[in-house]
Amino acid sequence: MHKLIAGLAIATVLAGCSSGVKPVDPIDALMQRYSGDVPGASLLVIKDGKAIVNRSYGLSNVEDHDDAAPATNYRLASVSKQFTAAAILLLAENGRLHLDDTARRWLPSLPEVTAGVTLRQLLTHTGGLVDYEDLIPAGTTDQVSDQDVLRMLSATAKTYFAPGTAYRYSNTGYVLLGLVVEQASGVSLPLFLQQHIFQPLHMDHTLLYERGGPPIDHRAYGYSEENGHWTRTDQSVTSATRGDGGIYSSVEDLAKWDAALYDNRLLSDASRNLAFTAHVKVTGEPYEAGYGYGWRITGDTLWHSGESIGFRNVIVRWPKQHLTVILLSNRNDPEPYRSALAIAQPYLQEP
């Protein structure tokens, strides 16, 4: 499926290059929608540990006409989940928690109906917990916090299915995992990530953003296209939750994260194997995949997309080929996964 999507995209680009006309760079052609005075994107292709494509397009701040750059920090949205999962795995390695602990052991206010839900099931979206987005009262304008999610879920005496019996993508589960990190470590989730992941990997400009906390350097603001015009849509009522999507980072910093996933400088071999193993089949999503811990697995690829209001991102890794494509954007469209596959295709074909 990957090759079909990528092949069609490249064929479309090549078909547009008529004889006698200067050929269009195929990557720039695929990224054309991000170019100009519009919300943009940053693209990084890493092969054998080296950045072979590092380009940015468009604007990170439309109102101030700030160009997007490799150091631009985008809201990662659900790409953040792999960091929350890594935090849980680090705590498990250190004996601070066990993956088969129940969520209620760490968050005792959860209702009795969730008694059998384990951390392992939260990691793989098999806990059956109700989506917190569906619990937010109509007319809510204040941003929902992690504690709000816990409070709403604690007052909800139902689940979608018995834990471990099905898959349903769950932002709720990853919000709770972030709260478990705090309970098990004794420090805030932003501080734990900073001390145990970002600082050791020298991801110096990456942070889990909280209002009133440290500012975001080189911040990209999110936008949505409405009636042919770009409108800033940087925050919504669900933009303040953390474990499911609150990290800001750049392609430069994510290159350091990618490098750490090849060895044990951060996570042990056993932990990385757990994260990168398909424990359950993904259902209800448009792509064939299994799910590990914060990663989708399709064929030879490890990947995850991230979408929140005004941002669309993806990281796709081909570990056997030592190839990674990272595409971060501060706009609601287009969806970047297919573009990332197409961009990778020529490098996968190299001997």
**Which domains does the chain show, CATH number per domain?**
2-348 (3.40.710.10)
| Alpha-carbon span 90 to 278, nearest angstrom | 19
Helix extents (H) in the chain: 2-15, 26-30, 81-93, 103-106, 119-123, 146-154, 171-185, 189-193, 251-260, 269-275, 337-348
Give residue-wise pLDDT tens across range 140-185: 999 999 999 999 999 999 999 999 999 999 999 999 999 999 999 9
Q: How far is CA 3 from the centre of its chain?
A: 23
Residue 172, pLDDT score: 98
Residue 5, pLDDT score: 46
pLDDT band of residue 195 (cuts 50, 70, 90) is very high
Secondary structure letter of residue 140 according to DSSP = -
Sequence-distant (≥ 6) Cβ neighbours of residue 245 within 8 angstroms:
75, 76, 77, 78, 79, 80, 81, 171, 174, 306, 308
- Is the pTM value of this prediction over 0.85? yes
CA distances from 185 to 6, 63, 70 (A): 43, 41, 33
Query: In terms of pLDDT, which residue wins out, 162 or 23?
Result: 162
The catalytic residue among 42, 56, 60, 78 is 78
Residue 16, pLDDT score: 44
- 78 catalytic? Reply is yes
| Alpha-carbon span 214 to 106, nearest angstrom | 28
pLDDT at 349 over 90: no
Residue 212, pLDDT score: 87
pLDDT at 21 over 80: no
Q: Which of 23-27, 71-75, 291-295, 322-326 has the lowest mean pLDDT?
A: 23-27
| Alpha-carbon span 351 to 343, nearest angstrom | 17
Name residue, tokens 């796709």: 316
Give the angle subtended at the CA of 307 by the CAs of 190 and 142, to the nearest 5°. 65
Sequence-distant (≥ 6) Cβ neighbours of residue 182 within 8 angstroms:
188, 189, 192
Per-residue pLDDT averaged across 102-125, rounded?
98
Q: Is 229 helix (H, G, I), strand (E, B) or coil?
A: strand
Strand ranges (E), 206-310: 207-208, 223-226, 229-232, 247-249, 280-281, 290-291, 296-298, 301-308
What's the length of the chain? 351
Secondary structure letter of residue 109 according to DSSP = T
Structural contact between residues 126 and 165, judged by C-beta atoms closer than 8 angstroms: yes
Q: Which one, of 176, 201, 160, 58, lies nearest residue 123 by Cα?
A: 176
Per-residue pLDDT averaged across 65-69, rounded?
98
pLDDT at 122 over 70: yes
